[in-house]
Amino acid sequence: MKPLSEFSARDFAEHPDFRNWVQAPTPESDTFWENYRQTYPHQQPHILRAQALVKAIAESPQFFPSDSQLSEMWQFVEAHTSEKTPTPVVRSLRGWWAAAAAVILVMAAGWIWWQQRQQPISYDTIVATATKQLEERINTQNQIQHLRLPDGSSVQLAPKSRLSFAKKFENLREVYLDGEAYFEVKRDPEHPFLVYAAETVTQVVGTSFTVQAFVGKPNVNVSVREGKVAVSSRKNLSNDLKNTVLLAANQQATFVRNGEILVKSLVENPAKITTNQQELVYTDRSAVNVLRDLEQQYGVELVYDEEVLKKCFVTISFSDEVFYERLRLLCRTIGAEYETIEAQIVIKSNGCQ
C-alpha cells in the first residue's frame, strides 16, 4: 500500500479512516490529521480536494461510487480544475486557500454528475414554447453565414446551425439556437438579450460571445470575448433557472447535458482585451509588475502572494506569444508553477533569494 505521505486526493477519498474523519471527526482523528498536515504541508491541496468529494458524497448517501465511477469522476474533476506547468511543485498557502472554494464546487459537481441525469432539451421543443411567430435561419453552407437581427445585433452562424427569432423584438430580445453562433449584441440595458440553447439560457445587455449547442453533443459551451454575460442552466422548459455563473472576457461556461453541471473556466487561448500600448521588454523589473500587466492585458485573475514574490526581479521580453506562453516563460524565469482552477490562475512560488 502507498505510504500516507504520497497519497493523492483520490487515495484520501478512498481511504476509510479519512472518510470517517471527514464525516464524523473525533478528538483522536482531529489530532492525527492535524499532525499529518503539519508534517506533510505539501499534501494540503490533495486533502482539500478529497474533503470536498467526501462531503459531496455524504449529501447523497445512497452509495459510495464504484471504482469505475470514481475513476470517471476524477477525470472530470482534473479536466476542470488543473492545468500545470512542468516546473517543480512549490506552493503558496495563500494561493491554495484562495482557490479552495472553487475546487470544492467542481468536486461537488463531479459527484452530482453521477447523481442527476436528465434527457436533453431539443431545439424544436424550445422553439415550440415561443409566444411569438419566429423566423428561422439555417446555415446549410460550409462557411459562416452573417445575420442581422431586428435590434441591429449581428450574428455569425456556423455551418450546420440554425437560429430562430421574432420579426420584431419587444421587452425581451430572445433567440433560439441549435449549433454554434458568435453574437455581437447591440447594447440596450432596458431590453435584455437572451439566447436559449439546449438546457442553457445566456443573458446579456451588450457584449460579444459564442454559444455552441449542437444536437447530439454532450456539452453546451458559452465563451465571452468582450463584456459580461450570465449563463444559467434549467432542468425543463420552465423559467426555473437552477444554476447561474457570471462570465467576463476570456471566460467560458460548460454545461454537461446528461447531468446538471455548469462549470466556469478560462477559454483555451485568452485574447488581449485592451488596445493600449503594451510593454514588451522588462529589464530588472519586479515579477509582480509583470503579473499585473498580464492581468490588465488579458483580464485574467492571477492569484499570488506579493510578499513571497517581492524579491523576484526579471529581465524578460515578449513578442507575439499567446497568454499561456508568456505566463510559462515568466514562471520558468522565477522558478514558479501555476495552476488553473475555474477562471483563476494560482501562481505558486517559494520566492527568490
Q: Do domains 123-259 and 281-348 have the same CATH topology?
A: no
Residues 6 or more apart from 200 whose CB is under 8 A from it? 211, 213, 220, 222, 231, 232, 233, 234, 253, 255, 262
The arithmetic mean of pLDDT across residues 134-139, rounded, is: 96
Torsions phi, psi for 58 (to 5 deg): -60, -30
The phi, psi pair for 292, rounded to 5°, reads -65, -40
Q: What is the pLDDT of residues 145-180, one digit of tens each?
A: 999 999 999 999 999 999 999 999 988 999 999 999
Architecture of domain 281-348: 3-Layer(bab) Sandwich (3.55)
Lowest mean pLDDT among 25-34, 111-120, 280-289: 111-120
Q: Give the three cell numbers for residue 3.
A: 505510504
**pTM over cut 0.75:** no
Q: Is residue 3 predicted with pLDDT exceeding 70?
A: yes
**Calpha distance 228→248 (Å, rounded):** 4
pLDDT at 37 over 70: yes
316, 307, 271: which is closest to 288 by C-alpha?
A: 307
Distances (CA, A) of 311 to 20, 330, 332: 43, 14, 16
**Whole-number Å distance between alpha carbons of 195 and 183:** 10
* Rounded distance between C-alpha atoms, residue 188 and residue 191, angstroms: 6
Whether pLDDT at 277 is above 60: yes
Domain residue spans of the chain:
7-80+92-115, 123-259, 281-348
Which CATH number describes the domain made up of 123-259? 2.60.120.1440
Average pLDDT of the chain to the nearest whole number = 81
Tell me the β-bridge partners of 338: 347
195-242 residue pLDDT tens: 999 889 999 867 899 999 998 888 999 999 988 899 988 765 555 566
- The predicted-structure confidence for 88-123, as pLDDT tens digits, reads as follows 333 343 444 444 444 444 555 554 444 444 467 889
- Per-residue pLDDT, averaged over 38-44, amounts to 82
pLDDT-derived band at 243, boundaries 50, 70, 90? confident
**Considering all CA atoms of the chain, what is the largest pairwise distance in Å, rounded to the nearest integer?**
69
